[in-house]
Structure 1
């Protein structure tokens, strides 16, 4: 009931009871302790009915709790403090000068202290990173960007901060934020595909974020696209990552133009200017990404795919190639896939970590 009001509220008591198939007395029994505890509030109404008792909508008191979300990259840490509805209240950004666990934990603990003052302490910490991690398991089993294997970072941060700490794969954490407070609200199933340093996929099926403790899920980056294509860093020929990751795009354009100093943003500018080599590389990236999205939709049956990630701004350069590949590879019996493009900053990834912690606090999974 609390989740229904958190995600879809404010709702009248009648509408809340209807959505949850509860009797008025059962709803009263459930809401009473939450109202007394300050987690639910009655919203004022401007209009009163001519007859009968006024119906005041119920809403979650977003200020009743706060959470800290932390996103780790290979060289930076982004941390935010959010309220119960995932709204960012404050944020900090720190350089990671080392991948040593003690250094990273010290930076996280310092950020938590900074974000905790001068208000009440947060209720939990969420940490997201690229790698094999899942809420409920404090161990990061693998994180290639940080060079970690079997690091119990959740337990270590909990000891350093005195706060419950969950660790989650960054794409799944971002998916959780979209499920409760983003483009996925109201959708029982959807997929989130991210493109950046890698290509990832998060899934919500039947109102549940798909997780596999201790194992990876949504590993679509090395999906085969063309057996005659370029090599990725793992030696796979023609996989999606070899075409559509920011590093692959940068590498291909720099090699074609003989300009090894080119950044991804400079490559993107060349693509927008329709420089021939850059335009072709982005078209190939768009085709690869469209094939990934079609494959995800074909396998899962989702009708909405949210496209995001730090390199998603390339979509306006390769949209036509993406759309053509999506149409070509989507199964002919399927409903056309709705694609929503959502550019996000790294603060949004940190917000995802906070929402993942919130989900675990409420749902226990």
Structure 2
């Protein structure tokens, strides 16, 4: 049986590492990119900061409590896009089958590569070396026969690591993999898995497909396959999507303005974190409201300049929400999306569409 050859490249603490590269006086120090505002959120943390528990998407105030000597650095998205584009130019020396996941992460299908190299691990080593030599940054790489395992492999030895999962090793590797490290297992799904007694890949593999589908819906088939080392998804060449959004579905429909406005502020916070993570900027904010009868209303507002801050998203979102009459139409879902970038997205920039956050 022939296998594909997939490399997953994940830059190490990308935004923070770029800042430390560009500002040598910050090297070796705990820094956080973003998060300095009163209600700001950490966009990225250096490994020196991570030792204190500082993580991306963490409120800046909490990060400061964990690490009093933390240095907050302004976000420079244009610079990160520039470096990401340079990384992708390196990738294209090896293959055109590149699927970006974000500015700092991508899959490469090197089954039929431009170098005619049969060993994907050799290409991964060379790519890592070129990124280090040409850009002064480190990356972690995972090599395997599908996307799931390549992603898991790159996470296994961060930072600056390289891990290969051979087809003959895959089932044993998966059996020992903590369930929280499976693709698609977020905080809520992990809690549900643990409640079901599923702690490792071996536990997951012991569950039947009907059982997993009963508990996890369509994702059950994905988990069933992953536990067996199966992932048929192809590496899809670069696609540019020009919007990013988040939404929340209520457990009970509501027309309570205080509840709706409070939840809209939380959706805005989720959106702001992912905008920082993905490096996306746009000028249009759209509010999506789904009512109890499943009818949908949407309202948008566009600005002359890019929407840059959480406070701006919240202010505009509340204005849109307050312009709707939902007193007799209980709401079941709220969503916010940013779109309309002011310039064409550059190679290496990947924007996901709607990201749902169930309770």
Q: Is TM-score (shorter-chain normalized) higher than 0.5? A: no
TM-score bin, normalised by smaller chain? under 0.3
Instruction: Report the structure, 1 or 2, having the larger helix content.
Output: 1
Q: Give the structure-2-normalised TM-score.
A: 0.27
